[in-house]
Amino acid sequence: MGWRTSPLTIALVVINIVLYGIDFLTGGALADRFELYPPAVQAGEWWRLLTYGFMHGSWPHVLINMYALLQAGIFVEYCYGTPRYSLIYLAGLIGGGVAAYLSTAGTSVPTVGASGAILGVFGAMGVLGLKLPRLRSALVRSAFFPIVLTLGYGLIVPGISNWGHLGGVIAGGLMALLLNPVRGSELVLRTQSSPDDEETSEPER
């Protein structure tokens, strides 16, 4: 598990950082065109329900989101494989966008950020705990705390789309539930190896 088994996660991190840099240098021109702006969506610019997830409001915003994506995405992409992982990420992105839009429809409040899609990936990590019983405790714990902390932060800090977060985690989790991990059995076999097996195995050279 590493960079080579997580090409989409790495690509998403690079794309998000590059797009924020371009947006910063152009004075927010990209965000104006691609953020989730309810009046624009109502006027037929439906693609904003996707592109909002590649826009960010500040350097801390994009860097924190990308750090979280690396933490969860590398593992989830490894377990599910890139094609299935892409469906999970897309589900979280769309679910978060739709929920954010429905919660702001009729207003002029824009929504930006990849956190809905990223929480969908954390939701998938929690689902992996159901599919891989021997890893359940560690996976559920690793998914539960970031999700709760993010939602709790959204409750006390204004200007954060908690509906977008909820939509993302639910959609991503449901998609993960419908899919089977492609490397789950390998991880389970690793956890089933006994200490004696480890002691008698030859060292790596």
Active site annotation includes 142? no
Of 30, 51, 65, 20, the residue nearest 160 (C-alpha): 65
> How confident is the model at residue 192, as a pLDDT?
46
Q: Which of 6, 115, 142, 161 is the catalytic position?
A: 115
Q: Which helix (H) or strand (E) holds 154?
A: helix 136-156
**Are the CB atoms for 191 and 135 separated by under 8 Å?**
yes
Reported CATH class of domain 3-181: mainly alpha
Q: Which residues contact 31 (CB under 8 A, 6 or more apart)?
A: 23, 55, 57, 110, 112
pLDDT digits 0-9 by tens, 45-103: 999 999 999 999 999 999 999 999 999 999 999 999 999 999 999 999 999 999 999 99
Q: Which of 6, 56, 142, 165 is the catalytic position?
A: 165
> How confident is the model at residue 77, as a pLDDT?
96
pTM: predicted TM-score of the whole model, two decimal places: 0.87
Q: What are phi and psi of 111, to 5 degrees?
A: -130, 135
Active site annotation includes 56? no
Instruction: Give the chain's radius of gyration (CA, Å).
Output: 18
**Average pLDDT of each block of 10 consecutive residues along the chain (205 residues)?**
84 98 96 97 96 96 95 94 97 97 95 96 92 82 85 79 94 95 65 42 38
Q: Which residues contact 94 (CB under 8 A, 6 or more apart)?
A: 49, 50, 171
